[in-house]
Amino acid sequence: MLRKWLMMLMLVGAVPVTAAAQDADRRLEDLKQMVMELNSDLAVLEEQLLYPVDAQFTVFMATESAGAFRLSSVELKLDGKLLTSYLYSDAENEALRRGGVQRLYLGNLKSGKYDLQADVVGIGAAGKEFRQTRQVMFEKEARGRYLELRVRDEGKAPLVSSRVW
Amino acid sequence: MVPGVRCWLSLLSLCWIGLIQAADADVVQLYRETAVMQQQLADYSAAGSVLLTNQRLGRSDAAGEWLLAGIYRDFGMSRHAERSFRRIIAQGATTVQRNQAWLALASARFRRGQVEAAEDALAYISQDIPKELLLDRLRLQTSVLLARQQQNRAIQLLGAAEVRNLRDPVLDYNYAVALMAVQMDDKAFEVLQSLGKIKPRSEEAGAIQDLANLRLAELQARQGQVVEALTSLQRVSPDGPYQVASLHLRAELYEGLKRWDAARADWLALQRKASTEVVPAEAWVRAAYSAQQAGDLPAAVQGFREAIPLHEQEKKQLNQALQWLESNDWLEMLDGRDLPLSADTLWLRYLPELMSGHRFGTALSDYQDARRLDRQLAMIAPTLPQYQSVLAERRQAFEAVRGQWDADALDLRIRKLQRQSTGLTQQWKRTGDGRQSSIGVTEAQRRMMERLARVEVRIRALPAGDDKAPLLQRHDLLRGLLIWDSNQTALLEREKLMESQQAVLSGLEQAVSNRQRLMKRLAEKPAEFRQASAMLDAMPGRIDELRSGLRAVMQQRRQQLLEQIRERLLQRIDELQLNQDRARYGVAYLLDRASVDQADKP
């Protein structure tokens, strides 16, 4: 119902605002910017304190779906030990479908060789369950490592691919 | 590796915490797309924070700046959006990007009700733009012109053949609206008729088609074409957003035609919709009036009688809702969710039209934004001690490693390298100026030299004679050969010396540079810790200040919304009161007439 009325708003157009309303707008706008900056201050501090760039290990999750593919869950294991797992909502699936990327994991790793296993579960065409495991061997050096997992669904069976930087 | 050097390198590595690693373009893109994820989840604050963080950690690019500008626009931050878009334009954007930026800016301004400023921004868009952008520009441009009451300019714009050929329902509808506003009914009629008959391709197009048919019916009714108007209304969807307005108009048209049974049927149909829609308060009284006109007086009396308690009940419910709104948290209910109908949610039914208004929509979205931010901040506050504790741990770890590191060991190494270098330089000089002939001379060569020296002494001691000169000649020849041989060995030795010297100098240079860098980081690190600590110390104050500002905004917007809701509910109460009075009058009139008729009977 709300959408229909919002559509009507588009038809009827806007009403010019008063100077007082503009001041209130400005105040709220400044508050929004200050909250963003505060959040950013904490995010920078968190990365610097907890995840220094030379030790950082980040896993990103993305989907590329032209069909009905829907991501249900992802589980990450590093050298056989559970690293993280995540369940996806409809809204998150839609956000991924529209070009969003999820930072699935952020942590630290010492230099060395690793074996990462990603268990991806989803629902494909005609409600068929999809399960695929992707194994990624990589070497962590004294610099940040980034891993992208991407589920591609181009009409045939979905495929999980990975890239490491 | 030397233990001291390992310790030194590990310390260097520790000190690099916080140094920015140049990020790969693909990684930058991934980080940017995490902001897209938040944007798509409509968490604009989180999306903006991600992009600001990316900028500060050196993993941002031009596309990130573009995205941030768009997020500012979507989050109602038109001034920040404008600043960002202007910066992008100034940095040498392409024509397409420039057009997109100005369009986005115009749309941001229009959404905030800055109609003239929106028009200014639209003026910067070049004429040769792609179709998708053209459509958006035309829609916005039309809305701007209509909002500024410049219907003639809107007509000129929308009447152009190339715009008409786009066959866009929104543009066509706005064209008809502009035409009707300047009484160009014939042309409006033509546009609405064509719009009302096309096959809608989407829900949005279907709603516009319904609206077009409704406006067409109004226009036809105004021109006395009642039958045609009724035909147009038949095309309005019976379960769309304009179903009530359509039934209302149709009932009135039947009344005009004195088709009282048909009119009554529509008024009764409207009454039945009252369980799900807000129907005109007059539906009950006018259904009874239609029955009266149709000669069904018992049904008319019953209709009037039923209307009185019904209106009373609705008025009572609305008055209770007004009281409830004063003291309860009702704003959560405006989130667009479908709530079950109850005494506490009844008032929501009267709002859809209000919510479509700019004033209400803006105040509501501001309130919701402020509330979301306030909640985010409330969640941050309890996590601050954890940051402090991690910072303290890192500080301790740094001090511990710094304590383990012996500064003298590194200096000792540098001094040793310096001594080696000095020794090699001196050796080099000695081989070069011949002051030390033994440089580069092997042991065998040295012994041979000594023997030759002794032989020379003995030859020179011989009495002068014919055989002395040839002996000296042979001695000189041998000595010459020996010197030549020694020089060859010295040259090789000098080359070796040079290589060693270069290696030592390079090691020394590296050691000094590392030491300088380490000293710099060691000097900076405590300052960084202090800075982080000061930032964390200031955080509760910042949060309190922001929350207080946000709560003031919420309070102000809540009041604005409440006033508008109250106005709407009071208006409905007035309508109900008026129709209740009419119903009372109807009952009295009909009963009076019945008693007169009874009295008149012989």
Using the CB atoms, write b or e for A102-139: b if 16+ within 10 Å: bbbbeeeeeeeebebbbebbbbbeeeeebeeebebebe
Model pLDDT for residues B190-244, shown as the tens digit of each residue: 899 888 877 777 778 888 889 999 999 999 998 899 999 999 999 898 888 888 9
pLDDT of residue B510: 77
Give the residue from chain A lying closest to B203, CA to CA. A4
Give the residue from chain A lying closest to B169, CA to CA. A11
- Tallying the residues shown for chain B, one arrives at 602
pLDDT of residue B49: 96
Which among A33, A47, A62 has the least Cβ separation from residue B77? A33
B20 or B384: which leads in pLDDT = B384
- Contact across the interface for A12 and B356, Cβ inside 8 Å: yes
Model pLDDT for residues B93-140, shown as the tens digit of each residue: 788 888 888 888 888 888 777 888 899 999 988 877 887 788 889 999
pLDDT of residue B439: 57
B362 or B514: which leads in pLDDT = B362
Answer for the pair A61, A162: CB distance below 8 angstroms, yes or no: no
**Residues in A touching B153 (Cβ below 8 Å):** none
Q: Is residue A20 within 8 angstroms of chain B, CB to CB?
A: no
For B266, the token pair is: 């529509």
- Contact across the interface for B49 and A32, Cβ inside 8 Å: no
Model pLDDT for residues B412-451, shown as the tens digit of each residue: 777 887 888 788 777 777 666 545 555 567 788 788 888 8
Closest Cα to residue B405, out of B30, B14, B65? B14
**Residues in A touching B240 (Cβ below 8 Å):** 4
Interface test with B, best of A31, A98, A106, A108 (most B CBs within 10 A): A31
Closest CA–CA distance from residue A3 to any residue of chain B (Å): 9
Model pLDDT for residues A7-36, shown as the tens digit of each residue: 444 454 555 556 777 788 889 999 999 999
Q: Is residue A52 within 8 angstroms of chain B, CB to CB?
A: yes
Q: What confidence category does residue B30 fall into, taking pLDDT thresholds of 50, 70 and 90?
A: very high
With H, G, I as helix, E, B as strand and everything else as coil, classify residue B236: coil
Answer for the pair B163, B138: CB distance below 8 angstroms, yes or no: yes
Average pLDDT over residues B272-277: 83
Answer for the pair B426, B501: CB distance below 8 angstroms, yes or no: no
Answer for the pair B411, B419: CB distance below 8 angstroms, yes or no: no
Q: Is residue B34 within 8 angstroms of chain A, CB to CB?
A: yes
First to last CA, chain B: 131
B341 CB neighbour count, 10 Å cutoff: 12
Using the CB atoms, write b or e for B495-515: b if 16+ within 10 Å: eebeebbeebbeebeebeebb
Cα–Cα distances (Å) from B194 to A3, B167, B172, B173, B188, in that order, read 25, 10, 9, 10, 10
Closest CA–CA distance from residue B434 to any residue of chain A (Å): 51
Answer for the pair B179, B191: CB distance below 8 angstroms, yes or no: yes
Is residue B491 predicted with pLDDT exceeding 80?
Answer: no
- Contact across the interface for A32 and B17, Cβ inside 8 Å: no
Answer for the pair B142, B172: CB distance below 8 angstroms, yes or no: no
Model pLDDT for residues B135-174, shown as the tens digit of each residue: 889 999 999 998 888 999 999 999 988 888 888 888 999 9
pLDDT of residue B588: 92
pLDDT of residue A5: 40
Which among A14, A26, A144 has the least Cβ separation from residue B79? A26
CA dihedral B574, B579, B585, B591 (to 10 degrees): -150
Helix then strand then coil, % of chain B, to nearest 5: 80, 0, 20
Interface test with A, best of B21, B26, B27, B30 (most A CBs within 10 A): B30
pLDDT of residue A8: 45
pLDDT of residue B329: 79
pLDDT of residue A2: 36
Closest Cα to residue A148, out of A134, A165, A132, A162? A162
Is residue B315 predicted with pLDDT exceeding 90?
Answer: yes
Q: Is residue B324 within 8 angstroms of chain A, CB to CB?
A: no
pLDDT of residue B551: 95
Lowest pLDDT segment from B3-12, B226-235, B316-325: B3-12
Q: Is residue B376 within 8 angstroms of chain A, CB to CB?
A: yes
Which among A29, A40, A47 has the least Cβ separation from residue B52? A40
Highest mean pLDDT among B13-22, B448-457, B555-564: B555-564
Instruction: Identify the burial level of B455 via C-beta atoms within 10 angstroms of its C-beta, where 0-12 means exposed, 13-18 middle and 19 or more buried.
Output: middle
- Pairing type for strands A102-108 and A159-164 reads unpaired
pLDDT of residue B356: 77
Query: What is the helix (H) or strand (E) element at residue B588, kind and residue range?
Result: helix B468-600
Interface test with B, best of A3, A12, A26, A28 (most B CBs within 10 A): A28
Helix then strand then coil, % of chain A, to nearest 5: 35, 45, 25
**At residue B445, what are phi and psi to the nearest 5 degrees?**
-65, -40
Is residue B473 predicted with pLDDT exceeding 80?
Answer: yes
Query: What is the helix (H) or strand (E) element at residue B176, kind and residue range?
Result: helix B169-181
Which among B27, B111, B369 has the least Cβ separation from residue A32? B369
CA distance B591 to B599: 12
Q: Is residue A116 within 8 angstroms of chain B, CB to CB?
A: no
DSSP summary character for residue B517: H
CA distance B88 to B69: 9
Q: Is residue B503 within 8 angstroms of chain A, CB to CB?
A: no
Closest CA–CA distance from residue B107 to any residue of chain A (Å): 11
Which among B34, B204, B549 has the least Cβ separation from residue A103? B34
Answer for the pair A27, B555: CB distance below 8 angstroms, yes or no: no
Answer for the pair B172, B191: CB distance below 8 angstroms, yes or no: yes
CA dihedral B183, B188, B189, B192 (to 10 degrees): -140
> Percent of chain B, pLDDT > 90?
36
Average pLDDT over residues B286-302: 93
Model pLDDT for residues A105-160, shown as the tens digit of each residue: 999 998 899 999 999 999 987 788 889 999 999 998 878 899 999 998 877 778 89
Which among B37, B204, B553 has the least Cβ separation from residue A7? B204
Mark which residues 76-115 of B lie under 8 Å from A by CB: 76-80, 110-115
Answer for the pair B232, B245: CB distance below 8 angstroms, yes or no: no
Single-letter code of the amino acid located at B65? E
Model pLDDT for residues B364-416, shown as the tens digit of each residue: 989 999 999 999 999 998 999 999 998 898 888 888 877 666 566 667 777 88
With H, G, I as helix, E, B as strand and everything else as coil, classify residue B547: helix
- Contact across the interface for A16 and B357, Cβ inside 8 Å: no
CA distance A5 to A1: 7
pLDDT of residue A101: 95
Closest CA–CA distance from residue B358 to any residue of chain A (Å): 6
Interface test with B, best of A32, A45, A57, A149 (most B CBs within 10 A): A32
Q: What confidence category does residue B8 fall into, taking pLDDT thresholds of 50, 70 and 90?
A: very low
**Residues in A touching B396 (Cβ below 8 Å):** none
pLDDT of residue B35: 95
Is residue B2 predicted with pLDDT exceeding 80?
Answer: no
- Contact across the interface for B113 and A54, Cβ inside 8 Å: no
DSSP summary character for residue A80: T
Closest CA–CA distance from residue A96 to any residue of chain B (Å): 6
Lowest pLDDT segment from A88-102, A137-151, B79-93, B247-261: B79-93
